[in-house]
Chains A and B, each alone.
Chain A
Amino acid sequence: MKKDLLGIKQLNEEEILNILTTASSFKDVLQRDIKKVPALRGKTVVNLFFEPSTRTRTSFELAEKRLSTDVLNFSIPTSSVVKGESLLDTVKTMQSYGADYIVIRHQCSGVPHRLSRFVKGSVINAGDGINEHPTQALLDAFTIKEKKGEIKGLNIAIIGDIVHSRVARSNTLCLLKLGANIRYIAPATLLPNYIPQEIKTFYNIDEGIKDADVIMALRVQKERMDKAFFPSEREYFKLYGLTPDRLQKADSQAIVMHPGPMNRGIEISSDVADSNQSVILDQVTNGIAVRMAVLYLFGGNDNG
């Protein structure tokens, strides 16, 4: 493995599968009474979250603790960042504490990539702007594999705010590398300018969802919308909301995923989110195992 997990873009199929296999061993650990292993004892991890997060931050923290690392949570509002300290200086300070890992989320794309050139420890991207969210894509792939057995050849529909979604970007890269067929379903305003050739796009959800094995609903990211991308939330739900009627048009064994946090009644109806086809809570559980695998594998690089 490389030193840093910057994105799915930098991984090949073999590396992705290695992470998923390792994660299944860690999932076994999480099902025991004692859910902790001494594998990374004595290592220090700094969680640097410049953007709000519930799931990813707590999931990383739990994964770190279950591997016996020492965890430092860096909270931006109470730190010197508000006094104007530069990102690089902040990170260099963390480095002087002997941090072996820096898990970073930042509102700007490319921040982890730049930091990785200055940091000796492993940099793990926990979401950078609208670029990538690699651990989310890995845990999604893990969940699909767990539920469906094989990813190759599956029809996977990604619905909603694709243009602002680093989850969609990472998932697209990951699932294409693993041989899935991907479709995008979204209004034209929420589709990215450059879409890989292999991907079919649909403006109509009822057409696009047909025979899908996996349906990924995405959060409408209001915080990244600086202009009107669609007229109203009510209209959006009417045209693109995932409802039980629409779900019926997909494969009868289809699974429904959402990276969270959900806007119920905008991109997904409560009936679907809480249905037995929904694997949204499995995604959360699997997230810990996958992040443990990432920390374990990327910590073992040759020059670290």
Chain B
Amino acid sequence: MQKELLNKKDIDRIISRIAHEIIEKNKGIDDLCLVGIQRGGVHLAKRLSEKIKDIEGSSIPVGTLDITLYRDDINIKKPHPIVRRTEIPFDITDKKVVLVDDVLFTGRSIRAALDALMDIGRPSQIQLAVLVDRGHRELPIRADYVGKNIPTARAENIEVLLQEDGLKDSVIIESR
């Protein structure tokens, strides 16, 4: 069974709100950069950066991060998952990095992302922005910016569909 939880309008509003929150919390955009986690986070980070540019008039650097090589389940998953590109064409040392992901669930991908970032540089601060927080954390991790809290059952599946992938913007919950 499928149900739409967020539509295009909702997602637009969330991006807009989080962009404002990021600027407010950091008192501007000095030393700020965005890093989207492959794959869903990448598109969201780009949208956030455009929104921030609209508001502040100047843009901030955006990178993409692939966490595959840092996962804790890599040796359980067979075959080994596809390694995608990490492209952070700027120095993150002493920068405030906002990690962007689509769904926050167990927290394990964020743990992997933190380790991956630390190998690339030494940011002064790392913050976390997610479109959906669905609960069921297995690690002590929380997001600084949350689009929507959605209580779920473990067996349920949350799908974030984005128009960058040729789909209609929406967030869907599936019960199995």
Contacts and interface: CB of A to CB of B under 8 A. Distances in A.
Interface of A: 1, 22, 24-26, 28-29, 32, 34, 36-40, 42-43, 293, 296-297, 299-302, 304
Interface string B68-95: 1110001101111011111100000000
Interface string B40-82: 0000000000000000000000000010111000110111101
Contacts of A25: 66, 83-86
B115 interface: yes
A39 B119 contact: no
The 6 closest A-B pairs by CB, nearest first: A300-B80, A37-B69, A39-B69, A300-B79, A25-B83, A34-B119
Nearest to A36: B119
B80 A299 contact: yes
A302 B70 contact: no
A34 B117 CA distance: 11
Nearest to A37: B69
Contacts of B87: 28
B79 A301 contact: yes
A301 B82 CA distance: 13
Given A25-B83, A38-B69, A301 B120 contact: no
A296 B80 contact: yes
B70 to A, nearest CB: 6
A302 B78 contact: yes
Interface string B109-153: 000000100011000000000000000000000000000000000
A300 B70 CA distance: 15
Contacts of A36: 119
12 contacts: A22-B82, A25-B86, A26-B83, A28-B85, A29-B86, A32-B120, A37-B69, A38-B69, A38-B115, A39-B68, A297-B80, A300-B80
Contacts, number: 51
A42 B76 CA distance: 13
A38 B112 CA distance: 10
Contacts of B115: 38
A304 B77 CA distance: 11
Contacts of B69: 29, 37-39, 296
A1 B79 contact: yes
Contacts of A299: 80
A301 to B, nearest CB: 7
Interface centre among B70, B78, B85 (most CB of A within 10 A): B78
Contacts of B86: 25, 28-29
A14 B68 CA distance: 21
B49 to A, nearest CB: 21
A277 to B, nearest CB: 29
Contacts of A22: 82-83
B116 to A, nearest CB: 8
A37 B80 CA distance: 15
Nearest to B115: A38
The CB with the most chain B CB atoms within 10 A, among A22, A36, A39, A302, is that of A39
Contact of A37 (B75, B78, B119): B119
Contacts of A28: 85-87
Nearest to A68: B69
Nearest to A34: B119
Nearest to A296: B80
Nearest to B84: A25
B120 A37 contact: no
A60 B77 CA distance: 24
Nearest to B78: A302
